[in-house]
């Protein structure tokens, strides 16, 4: 084989081997690819429609070496501290959003294994915040749910703390 052909064949073999190593394995496929993003339009849930008929929001979730979740809400209670989480179900489930998305599905439903943020609304019932997390959502992350504090749920005599829910759509 001429030297140029041999060098080309060797280069092709090295390139093929390198690309084969990029195929990943089951462990690599558990998370998301780099630089993914999702958005959700949040709508008031049925139990809260009477108290917050204009409740709404947006959630922007981006994933690249960790996660950023930006949440903006309006039409909610004045100066209330809400908690939001990424959930594994869709908003048409009962309860809306299903359970919390867990980075380790066999792990505990607790900080360090969930993506959550706290947001306090203004005197006009609006609020905005962003949280960063080392956790990277996978295809089980389906929605974002905003929860009211127990004291507000009890004061409103409601049976659900899920005020807003929005299904995540890939950008």
Whether residue 6 is predicted with pLDDT greater than 60 in this model: the reply is: no
Whether residue 4 is predicted with pLDDT greater than 80 in this model: the reply is: no
Percent of the chain with pLDDT strictly greater than 70 = 80
pLDDT in tens, 39-68: 999 999 999 999 999 999 999 999 987 899
Give the start-to-end residue ranges of the domains of the chain.
Answer: 1-30, 33-170
Tokens of 13: 């073999």
Helix (H, G, I), strand (E, B) or coil at 165: strand
Residue by residue, DSSP assigns 67-124 as: EEEEEEEESS-TT-EEEEEEESS-TTSSSTT-SBP-SSTTS-SSTTSS-EEEEE--TT
pLDDT in tens, 104-120: 999 999 999 999 999 99
Fold (topology level) of 33-170: Immunoglobulin-like (2.60.40)
| Dihedral of alpha carbons 45, 41, 128, 37, sign | positive
Are 74 and 54 in contact by the 8 Å Cβ rule? The answer is yes
- 34 — pLDDT class (breaks 50, 70, 90): low
């Amino acid at each position: 084989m001429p030297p140029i052909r041999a060098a080309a064949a060797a280069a092709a073999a090295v390139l093929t081997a390198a690309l084969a190593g990029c195929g990943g394995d089951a462990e690599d496929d558990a998370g998301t690819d780099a630089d993914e993003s999702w958005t959700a339009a949040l709508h008031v849930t049925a139990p809260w429609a009477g108290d917050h008929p204009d409740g709404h929001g947006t959630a922007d979730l981006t994933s690249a070496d960790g996660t950023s979740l930006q949440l903006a809400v309006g039409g909610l209670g004045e100066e209330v501290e809400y908690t939001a989480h990424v959930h594994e179900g869709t908003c048409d489930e009962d309860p809306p959003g299903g359970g919390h998305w867990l980075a380790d599905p066999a792990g505990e439903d607790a900080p360090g294994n969930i993506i959550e943020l706290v947001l306090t609304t203004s005197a006009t019932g609006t609020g905005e915040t962003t949280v960063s997390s080392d956790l990277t959502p996978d295809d089980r992350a389906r929605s974002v749910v905003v929860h009211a504090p127990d004291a507000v749920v009890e004061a409103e005599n409601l049976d659900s703390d899920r005020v807003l829910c929005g299904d995540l759509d890939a950008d």
